[in-house]
Amino acid sequence: MTEGSKKRYRERILGPAPVEVGKEYDIHITERGSRGDGIARIQGFVIFIKGGKAGQNVKVRITSVGDRFSTADII
């Protein structure tokens, strides 16, 4: 399945991702992932934040968006 068809599938089944690559968001990190990254959610969509810690309120920039989750860096 190509990236384009994955995106269309996700949008058709789940709706569009509520975040976009390159955009900045103010979020609250609620937990820590198994690889040590912080985890936050926007409209239920999971965001892994590199170097984030549970309990932090941070501004992030989205670096990638997948079918089920995105990744972001603290700015």
Name the strand (E) or helix (H) holding 73.
strand 69-74
Q: Is the pTM of this model over 0.85?
A: no
Tens of pLDDT along 47-62? Answer: 999 999 999 999 999 9
**R_g (Cα) of the chain, nearest Å:** 12
Topology adopted by domain 3-74: OB fold (Dihydrolipoamide Acetyltransferase, E2P) (2.40.50)
State the DSSP H helix or E strand holding residue 5, giving kind and residue range, or none if neither.
helix 3-13
User: CA-CA distance, 43 to 17, in Å (whole number)?
Assistant: 9
Average pLDDT of adjacent 10-residue blocks, the chain of 75 residues: 62 80 98 96 96 97 94 98
The conformational region for residue 69 under phi > 0 = left, psi -120 to 50 = alpha, else beta, is: beta
